Structure 1
Amino acid sequence: MSKRAVLEVIALGVEDAVAAQAGGADRLELVTDMAADGLTPPVETFAGIRAAVDIDLRVMLRPAGGFAVGDHLERLVRTAREMRDAGADAFVLGFLDADGGVDLPAVERVVGELDGCRWTFHRAIDRAADRDALRKQLDGMPGLDTYLTAGSAGGVDAGLPTLVAEAARSGEAGYEQQLLVGGGLRLDHVPQLRAAGIDAFHIGGAARPDGWGRPVSAEAVASWRAVVDAAR
């Protein structure tokens, strides 16, 4: 029997987290400021959500919009340390340099604060000049177990062929990590992705039928849970 696929939901606060867990989410990505596509939440937000739910949490480490760390590295390192001190044990991060390559020094510096915790390299991969080169450079990085990707900066519609091709390379050097698909993901994409062997899905706006100004809907999450579980 195949293992249950992962359904990850973006949570901005406790109300989101409780609804997502009630709807059947396996994991939460904790962020703030979706106008900037998700930045690091306050430590207090993490603590409140951690106290409210018992599913896995991954905390975003992203100091500003875009995918360059810029002048924020030292602050981000301090924030990572604060999150670890507060009990966070899984994270989301990813930085590119001006040429669209992975900013390896920045990634290594932040990951060095995570004590081997599991982490996701997020959709910066969809803006990379060379996805394969990025994966090879990050191969063996402590704790890296997931890539959050739409396969394309334009979203899953444009990225489907890339996602299917990368899933087929699972187990190769640089491709051992789980593919977590998100970014313009729709329910009708799920059967094709599941058929390709992809078993992790990430939703944000899709969990909020009334828009980002309203909390996560447990019913919306439950509808995704049902489709993800049925498409095996």
Structure 2
Amino acid sequence: MSNRAVLEVIALDVEDAVAAQAGGADRLELVTDMAADGLTPSRETFAAVRAAVDIPLRVMLRRTDGFAAGPVDLLVEQARELRAEGAEEFVLGFLKPDGAADLAAIEAVLGELGGCRWTFHRAIDRAADRDQLRKSLAELPGLDTYLTAGSAEGVGAGLPVLVAEAGRRGEPGYGARLLVGGGLELSHLPVLLGAGVDGFHIGGAARPSGWSAPVSASAVATWREALA
């Protein structure tokens, strides 16, 4: 696994998860309500998916569309319930109105995660200062990944930022893996792989028939082969 890029696929349910694993996904991001760009799934959905596949599974902790935390007590409660159900990896990320990381909300949720590994999601693409955000989060326990397109407009617009950040890996604030997603296309891979990016995240690209249809194992396999 360490010698090849990681391919993460968005899953909404057991059918998606099984197809993604069959196609060669290395990890799943489990969410609900993609109309709101992905919210926290139910405890029951997590349990069913966890029982159906054996690849790593990161669970979204997000209650509302946008990047404000919303009621932090409810986020904390959901985190606690998912941990009790056996969740071990998570996805989260909250911004204050000024575009800085909402450290109070993030730390409140992390208090329930017990050092579990987690991804800071595409809130980074809406941050007022990406570099400052990274440095403000660098010492938080468990943070090992940034899911980013490099731009709020998607990977096509963000490629220069992604290439630059890949070149800074190991600097303070840049130790976490870049997981590139958000309008990612196969045509973007040569530049990203050439820059040393080793994490890729797909949602719509795994569903040739759209979000109303399940993940396609063959579509996932196409990406896995491209990253082999």
TM-score, structure 2 normalization: 0.99
C-alpha deviations, 1:75-123, integer Å up to 9, x for none?
A: 1100000000000000000000010110010001101110000000000
The equivalences for 1:42-57 within 5 A come to 42-57=42-57
In the alignment, what sits opposite 1:107?
106
C-alpha deviations, 1:29-57, integer Å up to 9, x for none?
A: 00000000000000000000000000000
Q: CA deviation at 1:222?
A: 0.2
State the alpha-carbon separation in 2 of the partners of residues 80 and 38 from structure 1: 16
State the alpha-carbon separation in 2 of the partners of residues 190 and 48 from structure 1: 33
The equivalences for 1:1-232 within 5 A come to 3-70=3-70, 72-229=71-228
State the alpha-carbon separation in 1 of the partners of residues 42 and 4 from structure 2: 31
State the alpha-carbon separation in 1 of the partners of residues 158 and 205 from structure 2: 18
Aligned length: 228
State the alpha-carbon separation in 2 of the partners of residues 52 and 146 from structure 1: 25
State the alpha-carbon separation in 2 of the partners of residues 94 and 136 from structure 1: 14
Q: Percent identity?
A: 73
Amino acid at match of 1:127: R
State the alpha-carbon separation in 2 of the partners of residues 44 and 202 from structure 1: 24
Amino acid at match of 1:227: A
Alignment partner of 2:9: what SS? strand
Stretches of structure 1 lacking an aligned partner (at least 5 in a row): none
State the alpha-carbon separation in 2 of the partners of residues 37 and 184 from structure 1: 13
C-alpha deviations, 1:162-200, integer Å up to 9, x for none?
A: 000000000000000000000000001011100000000
Q: CA deviation at 1:4?
A: 1.4
State the alpha-carbon separation in 1 of the partners of residues 5 and 72 from structure 2: 34
**Runs of at least 4 residues off by over 3 Å:** none
Alignment partner of 1:212: what SS? coil
Alignment partner of 2:113: what SS? coil
Amino acid at match of 1:125: I
State the alpha-carbon separation in 1 of the partners of residues 64 and 38 from structure 2: 9
Q: CA deviation at 1:152?
A: 0.3
Amino acid at match of 2:211: W
Alignment partner of 1:113: what SS? helix
Stretches of structure 2 lacking an aligned partner (at least 5 in a row): none
State the alpha-carbon separation in 2 of the partners of residues 131 and 64 from structure 1: 22
Q: CA deviation at 1:2?
A: 6.8
> What RMSD in Å do the two structures reach over aligned CA positions?
0.9
Alignment partner of 1:15: what SS? helix
